[in-house]
Amino acid sequence: MDVRHLTYFIEVARHRSFTKAARSLHITQPSISKMIKILEDELGTTLFYRSAKQIELTDAGRAVLHQSQQIVTSFQNLTSELADVINLKKGTLVIGLPPMVGARFFPKIIADYTRLYPQISLSLIEVGSKKVEDGVEDGSLDIGMVALPVNENNFEMFPFVKEPLMLIVHPDHELANRSNVELTELKNESFILLREDFTLHGRIVNRCIQSGFDPKIICESSQWDFISEMVAINLGIAILPRTICKELDPAKIKTVSLAEPMVPWHLGMIWKKDRYLSFASRSWLKLTSQYFGIKLDLP
């Protein structure tokens, strides 16, 4: 059954005339008569009582008319809403990002995006990079911001930040006035790290092991401000990205460069390879790539 058949049927019922209905729909009378006959054959019942002077709905016709009006209205609503989505007026977008990333780099982008696309529902999920990768992989997240590298067989991506990690210590710490520190000099220190679901956790631990020691971890957190406060009360040391360290109070915390080799903080935006990109996702990727001055070719 074609929705056009129902539309023609409703029009004939409204005018009680094949001729007037055909004129209203800008088609020929034989065409509309044929469509009504096809509909009656499909339903196995007569919809109109035809006399020499006029046509009337049968009991079956009245029942079909009520349902047809609802079906056609629903179809019209569907096509209108679909047009809105295609024209970027509506949609949903779920983005995963670590807390440090969202707070530092995306407030302006988020504000611009919601201003440009006010009918798109934007949801931000703050979790560590590992969970962001898992979410993009299983489809619960549309787009994610993660620490690179990632498996390029699974994800499309573009990088947007690359900067060094820095050591932060209490002002009274013996390393506080140094210009730089070798990682091996930290083997007896107490580390305050991000939780294990943050990529930086594993990268820092692995680099310490490569330098010949297992770091003594006394505290873990998902919040960089909590970590910095623990350092400020001289509970231990921490390693954080330079962007974060620039915001810390130098009266409470001293920032020291780490000598090479040290893992850089390399961030990228990822989405699942070979998965359909919604209009909401495409608009986000275009906006963010322009913001970071990156040329991005989307299919």
Per-residue pLDDT tens over the stretch 27-81? 999 999 998 999 999 999 999 988 767 789 999 999 999 899 889 888 877 776 7
What backbone torsions phi and psi does residue 205 show, to the nearest 5 degrees?
-60, -45
DSSP string, the chain: --HHHHHHHHHHHHHT-HHHHHHHHTS-HHHHHHHHHHHHHHHTS--EEE-SS-EEE-HHHHHHHHHHHHHHHHHHHHHHHHHHHHTTSSEEEEEEE-HHHHHHH-HHHHHHHHHH-TTEEEEEEE--HHHHHHHHHHTS-SEEEEESP--TTTEEEEEEEEE-EEEEE-TTSTTTT-SEE-GGGGTTSEEEEE-TTSHHHHHHHHHHHHTT---EEEEEES-HHHHHHHHHTTS-BEEEEHHHHTTS-TTT-EEEEEPSS---EEEEEEEETTSPPPHHHHHHHHHHHHHTT------
Q: How far apart are the first and last CA of the chain?
A: 35
d(CA 104, CA 113): 16
Average pLDDT score, the chain: 89
Q: Are strands 190-194 and 216-221 parallel, antiparallel or unpaired?
A: parallel
For the chain, percent of residues with pLDDT exceeding 90: 52
pTM equals: 0.64
What backbone torsions phi and psi does residue 126 show, to the nearest 5 degrees?
-95, 105
Is the separation of the CB atoms in 165 and 266 below 8 Å? no
Q: At 82, list the tokens.
A: 């679909």
Residue in 231, 261, 260 with CA at minimum distance from that of residue 244? 231
Quick one: pLDDT at residue 115?
94
- In this prediction, residues 88-104 reach a mean pLDDT of 80
In the chain the domains, ranked by start, together with CATH numbers, are 3-86 (1.10.10.10), 91-160+267-291 (3.40.190.10), 165-263 (3.40.190.290)
Quick one: pLDDT at residue 141?
93
Q: How many CB atoms lie within 10 A of CB 29?
A: 14
Q: Are strands 91-97 and 143-147 parallel, antiparallel or unpaired?
A: parallel
- In this prediction, residues 10-25 reach a mean pLDDT of 89
User: Confidence class of residue 102 from pLDDT cuts 50, 70 and 90?
Assistant: low
Predicted confidence (pLDDT) per residue in 272-289, tens digit: 988 888 888 999 999 999
Quick one: pLDDT at residue 73?
83
